Amino acid sequence: MKIAVWNDLRSGGGKRALYNHVKGLIERGHEVVSFCPDTADLNFMPLSQLVAERVFPLKDDMENGAKWIKRLHPRIHHKTRAMLAHCSACAAIINNEGFDVLFANSSTFSYMSHIGRFVKTPKLIYLGEPCRYLYEAKPEFLWKAPDAENVGPVKYVLKRAKHLVRMYWYSYMCREEYVSAKSYDLILVNSFFSRESVKRAYNLDSKVCYLGIDTDMFLYRQAEKGDYVIGMGYVQPSKGIEIAINSLALVKPEYRPSLIWVSNNNKKDEYIDHILNYAKLNNVNLIIKTLIPDAELLTLLSGARVFLYFPNLEPFGLAPLEANACGTAVISIAEGGPRESIKNGVNGYLVNDISYREIAERIGEFFTDKNLAAEMGRQSREYVLNNWNLKLGTDNIEHWLNILNNSRN
């Protein structure tokens, strides 16, 4: 097949998944060409290492214009129109160059890519998640009316007017997302949890297409386990760092481990200062490592006693399986994607709710039982090798692309 790939992804699991998809497809003889705007992260897992990549200018269009009355959110309209124009330009090339299928991926700005509206060939999108803040409480529900308590009538009317204008622009985003979602022949998702999220957001069906882990990269180095636990992800509230700290604070001081957090944040902000102070107040030694080389990451993953994973309703989560591949078990909460990838007593433990005491007890087991971390680590890698390898991930995406291509006949 001749496959056009489109993405506007930042560094992280979504881009890693796409890189592995493209790598697997070209190894099987498919011709792949990548299309992306310059708002995508071109340095993390660059597709240009694998295939021809056509980069279109969009950043200036997204950032300039509509700077007046910012509080009324005209930027939502401006950015959406800029993205639509970009997608139309990409689609014109794809339509004219004989591609068999379009394999679209998420957009950093709107999550749902708009390119499906303009491409005439069979088309699918691999959607990591819908634009969740439009449909879920994060941390509060976006559509909630402004509070009227202790506010004078004039001020309340002004707050309500501002709220109504904001809601118009967010409802505009919902409309544009829905129109684009319906334009695809097929929506693929990373878990059954994500399938349900798509159903709730768009009332559209989708198919689960599980990902694979690069077990040649994420190696079990049989490193001696250190006196630390590890977590990964952006340093932000939704990643559950405070859950990890609160749990570690309940571990007995004599074997309370350090928490190493590997982040791809490239700028220090107020929340990072807050979380470092919060850890100190709770007598937890938090070490944040930013944008570290892969070799250091693999060493840290292999040497950790256990991997802590508490993001808010994570759609799938590659990181726990990557830790497993490095010989480290996982402790997570029984919600979202981890319910489908973590098997109790096999590659880690699922805690039924956010119980700091129960999480602390599980962490403690990896320090009081000297053999548990190493034994479960070996077991975890075997589990990933058998159930979540890259071959299976490529099989899954190739299966749906073949179905899409065959629909032309």
Helices (H), 225-355: 241-248, 270-281, 294-303, 318-325, 338-341
**Are residue 256 and residue 333 in the same domain, yes or no?**
yes
**What angle is formed at CA 182 by the lines to CA 176 and CA 183, rounded to 5 degrees?**
90
**Are residue 252 and residue 341 in the same domain, yes or no?**
yes
The pLDDT value recorded for residue 265 is: 76
**Are residue 362 and residue 242 in the same domain, yes or no?**
yes
Residues 6+ apart with CB under 8 A from 134: 142, 170, 173, 174, 177, 201
Whether residue 220 is contained in a domain is answered as no
**Are residue 137 and residue 162 in the same domain, yes or no?**
yes
**Are residue 200 and residue 298 in the same domain, yes or no?**
no
CA distance 317 to 309: 9
Whether residue 218 is contained in a domain is answered as no
The pLDDT value recorded for residue 69 is: 45
The pLDDT value recorded for residue 73 is: 61
**Are residue 176 and residue 43 in the same domain, yes or no?**
yes
Along the 409 residues of the chain, how does pLDDT read in single tens digits?
Answer: 999 999 999 988 899 999 999 999 999 999 999 999 999 999 999 999 999 999 999 988 777 754 544 444 678 888 999 999 999 999 999 999 999 999 999 998 889 999 999 999 999 999 999 998 898 877 778 888 887 777 777 888 888 888 888 899 999 999 999 999 999 999 999 999 999 999 999 999 999 999 999 999 999 877 789 999 999 998 999 999 999 999 999 999 999 999 999 998 766 788 999 999 999 999 999 999 998 998 999 999 999 999 999 999 999 999 999 999 999 999 999 999 999 999 999 999 999 999 999 999 999 999 999 899 999 999 999 999 999 999 999 999 999 999 999 987 6
Whether residue 217 is contained in a domain is answered as no
**Whether 240 contacts 310, CB under 8 Å:** yes
* b (16+ CB within 10 A) / e for 280-307: eeeebebebeeeeeeeebbbbbbbbbbb
pTM assigned to the model: 0.92
**What angle is formed at CA 16 by the lines to CA 12 and CA 18, rounded to 5 degrees?**
120
Q: How many domains does the chain have?
A: 2
**Whether 272 contacts 345, CB under 8 Å:** no
Whether residue 59 is contained in a domain is answered as yes
Whether residue 219 is contained in a domain is answered as no
**Are residue 402 and residue 262 in the same domain, yes or no?**
no
Whether residue 135 is contained in a domain is answered as yes
**Are residue 151 and residue 25 in the same domain, yes or no?**
yes
Can you give the residue range of the structural domain that contains 255? Answer: 228-387
Whether residue 287 is contained in a domain is answered as yes
Given 3-state DSSP classes, what are the helix, strand and coil percentages for the chain, each rounded to the nearest 5?
45, 15, 35
**Whether 95 contacts 120, CB under 8 Å:** yes
DSSP-based three-state secondary structure for 344: strand
The pLDDT value recorded for residue 250 is: 98
Of 21, 27, 26, whose CA–CA distance to 9 is shortest? 21
- Give the strand pairing for 31-37 and 2-8: parallel
Whether residue 126 is contained in a domain is answered as yes
Helices (H), 128-252: 153-182, 192-202, 241-248
Residue 79 sits in a domain whose CATH number is 3.40.50.2000
**Are residue 349 and residue 289 in the same domain, yes or no?**
yes
**Are residue 144 and residue 241 in the same domain, yes or no?**
no
**Are residue 402 and residue 383 in the same domain, yes or no?**
no
Burial of 275 (0-12, 13-18, 19+ CB in 10 A): buried
The pLDDT value recorded for residue 108 is: 84
DSSP-based three-state secondary structure for 233: coil
**Are residue 170 and residue 251 in the same domain, yes or no?**
no
